[in-house]
Structure 1
Amino acid sequence: MNLLRHFFILILLLSSSSSWAISVLFINPGKESEAFWVNVSQSMAAAAQNLGMELRVVYAERDHLRMPSLLQQTLDQGPKPDYLIVVNERQMAPPLLAIAERAQIPTLLTLNDLTPEQIKQFGAPRTHFKYWLGSVFPDNQQAGYLTAKALLTRLVQTKKPGANGLYQLLAIAGDKSTPASQDRVLGLQRALKEFPNVELKQIVYGNWRRGLAAEQMNVLHDRYPDVAAVWCANDLMAFGVISSLEQRRGPRKEVFVSAINYSNDAISMIKNGRLTALSAGHFMVGAWSIVLLYDYAHGRDFGRQQGTQMQLPLLSLVSVSKAGLFAERLSPEGVQKINFTRYSKVLNPKIKQYDFSLESLLQ
């Protein structure tokens, strides 16, 4: 039986790597120099290579308004991909889905689902947009909650409150419209309910950028000199905050900072204590999107088995003791070593439920 199963897998992989290999186009909303979005693309590429698929990545360089024209231009230049992956960055998915609908390309939405308001307008996958296969995205609210709780726990356990008995907190969110940013702020607000002696003084939006966050922190620190902690919605903004704090003249008091996202710099800062809390791992949703499309192309429709809108447990706190393990498993070299065929229902017919959890990679 095992021999037959291995033969079946070999036949599928050989056919996938031939001239009619399944092709996927990913419109990456980030920058080609941006660690997180590069990690997303690299995880997709590792899974695609492992499964004998062809992947093309086109970067929008953080210009969300350009994404529809970029997609249309790429399709016009050809060849037409078998599948498309897009992101609801700054709520720009509907025009992207409309282009895919006209081109009749099955499309997967990754990292950010449509907002509730957008769902009311356009409906669920496979309704208004019939070629929208579904969405796969991490639990961003949980990421915001976990980092906030770890940050505030450390704060109240190691520092004395201000004269009024309260700790002052600042928050640097991503942007006002992207679902991931909105959900991470909801997670922060959820954690704050557990810490009545922590006062959130202000939320600003750093647009995911290091330089802007540094400029904002310069102003905010002058406005709130007694700030004790800063919650950040991604790693780049946390780096900007830390840079601002470390460059201030005169005696400096320690300000705790948290972040979300995996990067080599973030791991290093957890190890050396410059970051107080970090949640990471969700860039792997790129790889899991490829696995889902592979199975769909081979007759195993994830929508019929696990629903068309899949929220995955992809984010976990990175402690000092686990930082080395995260670096080993989630580095580009570590991701290249993952056998993604293990996660395919087509190649492993006994699998009933996809296990795309971060724990499965870290074990």
Structure 2
Amino acid sequence: MIKGRRTGWIAAFLGLCCLVGGLGGAPPSAAAQGPVRIAVLVPEGPGDPFWARTLDFMNAAAADLGVALEQHFADGDREAMRALAERILTRETPPDYLVFPASERVGPYVLDVAERHGVYALLINAGLSDDQRDLTGGPRVNYTRWLGQITPDDLLGGYLLGRNMFRYAHGRGITAPTGKIQLIGLTHSAADESALDRIAGLELSADEFYLADIEYLGLAHGSKARAQQVIQRGYESYPGTTLYWSTDDMQALGMIEALSTRTRRVPGVDAIVGGFYWSPWALQAVLDNQIGFLMGGHFMIGGAAVVMLYDHANGVDFAPIGKEQRFGFGMLHAGNIKQVAPLVWRRDWSWVDFRSFSRALNPERGDYAFSASGFLQARKK
């Protein structure tokens, strides 16, 4: 059953589908005397592919806006993340802002430390779980220094991925013998909020398309090998399945291998694979016509966070347009992969005009409407 809070996002964002107050609101006085100082608390190590790209994008935004950015790595250790937060926030000269994801359930702890030491906090990528939100009351309620958050619009992403796969298969007659469009899906988690939202979006797209059937949703824990096993079993039960949908990239690659070696289906011909994350290996699979649709670009959320905090420090709070911002995924496919892949591989984002997104620098600008496609189109003149 899809929860109401998830389905409510679709109505608000459906019009954008074509596009690939309180004590907490006052800016820090130090920001007016020098560069805005932002510390980023990274849950993984420096070699993590997703966070490496996130920091690349944040650094480019910081350079464009004259922000001082520092980064700290927890190397996948929950206790290290808590200790890092304590060290950053209690030092003699703390940053103006702390940016971090609420992964490993550390969110309330870090927000509590930030509140006690008067440092503003912004969550990115991963927000609080439902039970944690019940305790915190949301941004600027129990924690006035928690300014807000910006997270991927996973519900809309799952919906768009499913909708495009169903429409593509229907348009090319890639269907089961019955004429139905059968889909097998894989998720990396049965409890993670982002995974649940992506699945809810998929279910919405299937409900919308009258020929669509989700035959099976399996759990592969983000494992390529596990994905191969689940897909083989799923195909044996539903051999008419032509669509293979995944919540991440490694599972999608496992789907490709299982289809290529253990079934009679050929990815890109009579089997359509879709997934999330613009990892180098997933980008290559799109170039090789093995993944048909790939959602991603949410590493750019880091750049959006820099813009939001730059504006806040310069007296333009984002609370009036939404303390909780959603970031729109970009979709890669055969029609645009050759243009986008080189940009992601090169990892040089100095050409992006981050200043054009700032509401402090562009008073006429309304909502941010942050998205991967928006950043990719924002070239400096």
Show CA shifts across 1:11-55 (max 9, x none): xxxx9899x533222222345434323222211111112222222
Give the secondary-structure state (helix, strand or coil) at the position aligned to 1:170: strand
The one of 267, 279, 302 equivalent to 1:286 is 302
Equivalent residue for 1:106? 120
Q: Does 1:127 align with 2:116?
A: no
- What is the TM-score with the length of structure 2 in the denominator? 0.78
- Identity score, percent: 26
Extract unaligned runs of 5+ from structure 1: 1-14
Q: Residues 169, 354 of structure 1: CA spacing in aligned structure 2 closer, same or farther, 3 A cutoff?
A: closer
Equivalent residue for 1:6? none
Equivalent residue for 2:151? 137
RMSD: 3.1
CA offset at residue 83 of structure 1?
1.0
The one of 314, 329, 337 equivalent to 1:323 is 337
Between the aligned partners of 2:368 and 2:171, the Cα distance in structure 1 is: 39
* Kept in 1: contact 2:352–2:376 (CA 8 A): no
Q: Does 1:336 align with 2:350?
A: yes
Runs of 4+ in 1 over 6 A off after TM superposition: 15-18
Equivalent residue for 2:323? 308
Between the aligned partners of 1:356 and 1:271, the Cα distance in structure 2 is: 26
Between the aligned partners of 2:142 and 2:32, the Cα distance in structure 1 is: 34
- What is the TM-score with the length of structure 1 in the denominator? 0.81
* Kept in 2: contact 1:90–1:177 (CA 8 A): no
Equivalent residue for 1:231? 245
Equivalent residue for 1:243? 257
Between the aligned partners of 1:247 and 1:78, the Cα distance in structure 2 is: 59
Extract unaligned runs of 5+ from structure 2: 1-29
The one of 35, 56, 72 equivalent to 2:70 is 56
Between the aligned partners of 2:335 and 2:314, the Cα distance in structure 1 is: 41
Equivalent residue for 2:282? 266
Show CA shifts across 1:248-288 (max 9, x none): 4x755443210122233333322321001122222211101
Give the secondary-structure state (helix, strand or coil) at the position aligned to 1:335: coil
Give the secondary-structure state (helix, strand or coil) at the position aligned to 1:134: strand
Show CA shifts across 1:191-216 (max 9, x none): 11123443323323344444543454
Give the secondary-structure state (helix, strand or coil) at the position aligned to 2:155: helix
Say which is worse superposed, 226-235 or 27-36, in terms of deviation. Answer: 27-36
* Kept in 2: contact 1:89–1:178 (CA 8 A): no
Q: How does 1:1-363 map to 2 (within 5 A)?
A: 20-30=34-44, 32-63=46-77, 67-73=81-87, 75=89, 80-89=94-103, 91-159=105-173, 161-162=175-176, 166-218=180-232, 220-221=234-235, 224-248=238-262, 252-254=265-267, 255-303=271-319, 305-312=320-327, 314-363=328-377
